[in-house]
Amino acid sequence: MATETPSTATWTVDPYHSEVHFKVKHLMVSTVTGSFGSYNATMETTGDSLEGAQISFSADIDSISTGNEQRDGHLKSGDFFDAANFPQLTFVSTGFTKKGDDEYTLTGDLTIRGTTKPVTLDVEYGGQMVDFYGNTKAGFEISGKIKRKEFGLSWDAVTEAGGVVVSDDVKLVLNIQMAKQA
């Protein structure tokens, strides 16, 4: 008796129902939120389980937006992301492990500005639903924190009073909807 091999499914990001944000402290008293407007993500799953899914993500640095054109230009410059030489940031998963009913741990390699470091992110699975057009969608809220200086985003300044202008800690907050491909 032959054992059936579970089917593999490919999922792609639905950019119309997804958002990719980051948050960083400014002067250590307030938070600036930014986002990437152009990004791509894929997920490969086997069978009905999400555990062990293979996930890849990329974002175009030129699509960064903080609501301030001057600040966006500075972030794209050599002081930060250096978009001219490193036009994308990428993430490739190394693990996707269930830790609770709708909670997963996503581990992988994040590459920013040519520097690759392992990161661990928390994932809340929102479930699956079939939309009006018969497409299966799945929702995820992903969060974590990185140290920007570890990725070469090392610009720094200190105020006259000795305060830090931009925090090293950067919070990542992604709300991602994936569409199962036929």
Tell me the pLDDT tens digit for each residue of 97-149.
999 999 999 999 999 999 999 999 999 999 999 999 999 999 999 999 999 99
Indicate the pTM of the whole model.
Answer: 0.90
Greatest Cα pair distance, the chain, in angstroms, is 77
50: left (phi over 0), alpha (psi -120 to 50) or beta: alpha
- Look at residue 164 and tell me whether its pLDDT is greater than 50: no
Q: Which domains does the chain have, with CATH numbers?
A: 8-180 (2.40.128.110)
- Of the candidates 135, 139, 136, the one whose C-alpha atom is nearest the C-alpha of residue 123 is 139
User: What is the tens place of the pLDDT at every residue in 20-39?
Assistant: 999 988 766 678 899 999 99
Yes or no: say if 88 and 121 are a contact pair by the CB < 8 Å rule: no
